[in-house]
Structure 1
Amino acid sequence: MDHQTEVNVGGPRMRPVQERSDHTALVVGDFLYVWGGYRSISGEEIFFPSDEICIYDMRSGEWQTRPMEGDIPPSLSGTCGSYLNGSMYIFGGCNDNGHSNQMYCVNLLGEKYIWKNFTEGVESRPTPRDKHSCWVYKDSIIYFGGYGCKQIRDVHPNSFTIDEASWAVIGNALFRFWGWNNEVHVYDPCSNTWTEPHTTGSSPTPRAAHASATLGSRGYVCGGMENMMMDLHYLDLESWTWTNIVSQSAVPQGRSWHTLTAFSPSSLFLFGGLNLFCEPLSDGWVFDLETAEWRQFQHPHQDKPRLWHTACLGLDSDVVIFGGSRDYRMLMDTIAVLRFPSLGHCSDVLIFQTQPYSLLRLCEDCIGKNAEILEKQLSILPLKLLEPIQKRISFFRTAVQTDKKITCT
């Protein structure tokens, strides 16, 4: 199906997108959808409205904001978003009222964006959590890990690492514990049911703020909090068997709040994050699954460190990075759960070219960059060619006007 003809982008409220971190983003056709997240203003966390969604046209470089209706979820950060069969699903996350384990869904291909709550009356839901990840496979969404709270009867040492910083305040007093997990939960949207498959093999340690990617029938995960090294594991989504991949080369330094994106049948792209010394990172790496080797990826964004950002596979195998933070500060809140406000939230889009472009893409970009020189010739182009070129002209003009240089390697 051609999503370019299905996605409705009429009637937008045009305004620049605001800086944010810990949001949800996904790509449908030519459009990047951004929802939720937060930013810090004068030391206070401000959550973005949950009744609107921001849409970025990757061809024209233009943003719009659309209203949302229905069972509107609370404003959240740290939620896990995924795209399946035309809809965006969000699960978990947190705000000033605590952590969530609710499931919401919105169809992105209709004329209106109407939320539906798939939580009430559903048994066997995972416990509340944030900073988790997911894989989409065979019409199911598989969730892994995260940070949250559990009652003492639900704490299992092999699948849950207790956050010692939480003991003093809520520990035994409320018989609840905060910490990291390595659980696997499967959500079936068709039946609106949850299951927890039995996994075998060498499972990753409990973690949150890690990165994950789906490639074929495997779900990959690497890094994250409570993990001191850049390990790489995959879960076979058919047999539910974990495998720890041992790299045959030097590995990137350990980190959390980074991203991992599959951009070819055998390649994963890692970007940014926060290292063990609490330093924001701007390095890119490619892991070759055939050779089990990491190699550093040279790119023009070395001066733009990012954490709490999102990464999506865009047009022509580009990796599209949006938002996040460029600095880091740690505080302790009233229930002793670690919070990480940042003053350096971002709203720019970074494009990483991972594959050679087609001749058509190269020509469109060349004309878009040199529109003033070619202005007279553009008027004689057939409409079919003129429309995409006009979008590329808008893309490069927008980049200049907003002083956000969107550069490709």
Structure 2
Amino acid sequence: MRWRAQHTTAVVGEALYCWGGDQEGLVRSHDSPTKRQCTSAIDAFNLLSGVWSSQPTRGTPPLGIIGVSCTTINNNIYYFGGWCGHDTCYHNSLNCLDTLTLQWKELQSTNNNSVTKRGLGGMIVMGSEGEPQQLLVIGGVAPISTITQYHQFECNKMTGADDLVSTNEQNIYNLSSGQWTIPSVSGQCCPPTSGFIIEKINHNKGIMYGGAVTDSGITIPTNSIYLFQLSHNTINWESLKQGVIPNDGLWPKEREGHASTIINGVSTSPTLVVIGGLDNRHQPVNDCLLIDTNQYNWMKIPLPDSVTCRYCHTVSSFVFDPNHVFLTIVGGAVKREQKHVGGGVMEWFDTPVTDPNITMVVELVFNDGQWSVGPVLDSVNIPLLYEQILKERRKELNEFMTDKEKELQVINKSLRHDLQVARINNQSLQEALLETQSLSVSSAAALMEKDEMILRLESQLQEAKSLYYEKDEEKQFVEFTKASGEYKGKVIKLQDQDFDEKIHLEDQGIMKKEKIDFTLHEQDQFSIKGTDSVGVQFNYMIPSMEKRMLTLETQLLETKTLLTKRKRDQEDSPHSDNSKKLKTDELEESVDEKQIMTGEYEKLKAIVADNELYLAEVLKGKTQAEEQLKEKQIIIDDFKTTVSEKDAYISKLLKEKSQQQERITSQEEQSIKETSSVDVQFNYLIPSM
């Protein structure tokens, strides 16, 4: 491999392809057989053996050879633009090299004026697998005469080159339609820049760092970092500022002409690797940075100057396994200085990297979340040690895989055992579920039956209560009616007897009798009126009867006193005649009748007492019925409580069944996930082996 600078390298499969650039033997002409000889060959570095080989290509290679942008899709390498090598001759052609056939194909010629002719820009692929792939071209150096007039883009003159400008023009090439489009731009777009690095983070997102920009008419390197994202023909830009993201005080230096690669490993998020470049004093930036594109944490990796002290070079990554990555650094220059070219003119000259440092291989090791440096090989040691190192890594990998296979066997055995246990548990769970469902059905049937029983008991109880109150009211009414009728009959009889008694009494006894009859009639009317108005209210009627009894006893006593007096007067008077004796006899008969009436009253009073006793018995029966109703209600409540407890038990069984089912599903998913994870790791390593 001969020295070269401002070239391109691209990894396809297990080979690294190097094409173009300023190199030994290149004639700086537009087109010539000597130039064709340089552009028609491509150098390939075998990533498994560490051996370079030069392979001829077929077809017509592009004329832009220095500062070309390139990217890969599957087995194809795409090249855009570049400087022809003489004057201000830049190109905007798009070409494709098939690495399987090494056949060139021009997709867009350099005569297309819709895209600015330029070099030292960047190009990446946007779009995920299965979607239309697009090539995104950004920035670069261009002749001022070829700048397209798109209002969303800018250009700035470069120091020391009045006929060259830097641009931030952005173009998208659709591989399906074969057409260029100009995207819309939003956000904090990058300024006109050249000599920067650009890498793809995911299918529609990329990162841009460094490059040369114009500040106050002077071209200087920058340390700006931009993120951009493509969505529906619009590119949204975001500028990352120091202090906004965590970086432990570390921020990359200003640089241009540096090189980068993205490590897309299994163990890490996409990691950007940046090596070398030129600072604002045109001196090499002697460092290597690793940038986690997920957290944007910066890490400086200590590497020898033979690796980092260069610019206008390339760096590529080869992921051997999840923990080992090999970086391949190719070409570049180590020194820039101005020299007199005659006539008082000074020009910049670059001193290229020479053997044994033209090709350098660096091993990076990732363990426990940290990067470290392994062996560093130059062009002399690569043929001697590189392949041996790969064999050792392969041996370690085989041992690792053997251990993993053993672990996998143990895991599979454990998984089979767990699966068997899970199936047994599942079967037991199914049986428990069936039993629970059967119990649930029977419990539901029993619950429905008990609910119906409760409804029947409540209905019967309500009917019994209604019937009881109807019978009670009916009986009270009948007894009251009967008592009222008998009482009224007795009262009427007493009235008639009192009326007859008025006819026979002529003297003071007659007047006393009328007075007694009037009082008795008044009390009878009061008692009858009270009875008719109250109806079934026996308690109201009883005081009237007692009062009536006292009145009758008083009248009887007065009558007896009167008769006794008359009899004594008759006995004392010899002139008493038969008429008075007759009247006296009539009075005695009246008294006898009143005594008979008093006896009837006693009978009536006994009937009322019987009614009161019956009423007390009825009330007692009512109380007993209410107590029975309360007892039945307690039984019903106890039954409902039992049913609720059974429902809670059924819910508990269903919950336990759901939890058991979730545990079984989790075990099966975990088994599948662990098996799949091991299979993926195993399958990932097979191509490398």
Superposition TM-score, scaled by structure 1 size? 0.73
Larger-gyration structure (1/2):
2
Q: Among residues 35, 42, 58, which one is paired with 2:19 in the alignment? A: 35
Which residue number corresponds to residue 262 of structure 2? 262
1:299 to 300, 303, 320: 303
1:73 Cα shift?
2.1
Is the contact between residue 122 and residue 192 of structure 1 (CA under 8 Å) also seen in structure 2?
A: no
Q: 1:350 to 1:329 in 2, by over 3 A?
A: farther
Partners of 1:42 and 1:106 in 2: CA distance: 21
Aligned to 1:315: 319
Letter of the 1:260 counterpart:
S
Shift of residue 42, structure 1, vs aligned partner:
12
Equivalent position of 2:335 in the other structure:
327
Instruction: Tell me if structure 2 keeps the 8 A contact 1:123–1:193.
Output: no
Residue aligned with 2:337, SS: coil
Contact persistence 2:152–2:185 (CA under 8 A): no
Verify: 1:141 aligned to 2:141, yes or no.
no
1: CA distance, partners of 2:110 / 2:6: 29
Aligned to 2:59: 70
Inter-CA distance 370–350: structure 2 relative to 1 (3 Å threshold)? closer
CA contact (8 A) 1:246 1:292 kept: no
Note if contact 1:319-1:352 (Cα within 8 Å) is conserved in structure 2.
yes
Q: Deviations over 1:298-329 (max 9, x none)?
A: 23456651111112221334332211112223
CA distance in 2 between partners of 1:370 and 1:189 (Å): 37
Task: Tell which deviates more after alignment, 177-186 or 202-211.
Answer: 177-186
Call closer, same or farther: CA 1:44–1:148 in 2, change over 3 Å.
Answer: closer
Q: 1:79 corresponds to which letter in structure 2?
A: V
Map 1:24-173 to 2 at 5 A. 24-39=8-23, 49-74=38-63, 76-94=65-83, 95-96=85-86, 98-110=89-101, 113-120=102-109, 123=112, 125-138=114-127, 139-151=133-145, 154=148, 159-163=154-158, 165-167=160-162
Q: 1: CA distance between counterparts of 2:352 and 2:194?
A: 22
Q: 1:3: which partner in 2?
A: none
1:353 aligns to what? Answer: 364
Among candidates 137, 159, 168, match of residue 182 of structure 1: 168
Q: Distance in 2 between matches of 1:32 and 1:366?
A: 15
Specify the alignment match of 2:277 in structure 1: 273
Matches of 1:284 and 1:89 in 2, distance apart?
A: 27
- Per-residue Cα deviation, 1:319-365 (whole angstroms, up to 9, x for no partner): 3221111222346999xxx97542323421332415359xxxx9xx8
The 1-side partners of 2:39 and 2:25 are apart by 18
CA gap 1:369/1:25 in 2 versus in 1, 3 angstroms: closer
| CA distance in structure 1 between the aligned counterparts of 2:81 and 2:108, rounded to whole angstroms | 11
State the match for 1:343 in structure 2: 351
Compared CA separation, residues 339 and 233, structure 1 to 2 (3 A): farther
Pairwise CA distance, 1:100: 1.1
Quick check: 2:201–2:293 contact (8 Å CA) kept in 1?
A: no
Partners of 2:237 and 2:126 in 1: CA distance: 16
Deviation, structure 1 residue 201 = 0.2
The Cα shift of 1:254 comes to 0.3
SS at match of 1:318: strand
Q: Answer yes or no: is the 8 Å Cα contact 1:133–1:146 preserved in 2.
A: yes
Deviation at 1:164, TM superposition (A): 5.0
**Which amino acid letter does the alignment assign opposite residue 68 of structure 1?**
T
CA contact (8 A) 2:194 2:212 kept: yes
| Preserved contact between residue 259 and residue 313 of structure 2 (Cα < 8 Å) | yes
**Greater RCO structure (CA 8 Å; 6+ sep):** 1
Task: Please state how far the C-alpha of 1:121 moved relative to its aligned partner.
Answer: 9.0
- Cα distance between partner residues in 2 of 1:144 and 1:333: 34
Distance 1:348 1:184 in 2: 33
Shift in alpha-carbon separation, 1:366–1:165, aligned structure 2, 3 A: closer
Amino acid across the alignment from 2:105: K
Aligned partner of 1:388 in structure 2 is none
1:34 is paired with a residue whose SS is: strand
Deviations 1:73-92 (A, max 9, x none): 22611111111232111111
Rounded to whole Å, the distance in 1 between the matches of 2:110 and 2:159 is 33
1:206 alignment partner in structure 2: 192
Q: Distance in 2 between matches of 1:229 and 1:307?
A: 15
Contact 1:328 1:342 in 2 (8 A): yes
Stretch deviating more after TM superposition (246-255 or 324-333): 324-333
The number of aligned residues is: 339
Gaps of 5+ in 2: 128-132, 214-219, 369-373, 375-384, 396-689
Change over 3 Å in CA distance of 1:25–1:203 after alignment to 2: same
- Please state how far the C-alpha of 1:261 moved relative to its aligned partner: 2.0
Matching residue's letter, 2:281? F
Q: Which of residues 211, 236, 242 is equivalent to 2:237?
A: 242
- 8 Å CA contact 1:131–1:209 kept in 2: the answer is yes
Relative to structure 1, is the Cα distance of residues 117 and 333 closer, same or farther in structure 2, using a 3 angstrom cutoff? farther
Query: Are the structure 2 counterparts of residues 293 and 324 from structure 1 closer, same or farther at C-alpha, using a change threshold of 3 Å?
Result: same
User: Is the Cα–Cα contact under 8 Å of residues 161 and 180 in structure 1 kept in the other structure?
Assistant: yes
Using the size of structure 2 for normalisation, the TM-score is: 0.45
Superposition deviation, residue 117 in structure 1: 1.7
Question: Cα–Cα, structure 1 residues 332 and 233, in superposed 2: closer, same or farther, change >3 Å?
Answer: farther
- Structure 1 counterpart SS, 2:303: coil
Query: Contact 2:170 / 2:183 at 8 angstroms: preserved in 1?
Result: yes
Q: Distance in 2 between matches of 1:370 and 1:228?
A: 38
What secondary structure sits across from 1:353 in the alignment?
Answer: strand
How far 1:34 moved relative to its partner?
Answer: 0.5
C-alpha distance in structure 2 between counterparts of 1:38 and 1:57, whole Å: 22
Choose between structure 1 and 2: higher strand proportion. 1
2:223 is matched with 230
Q: Distance in 2 between matches of 1:196 and 1:304?
A: 37
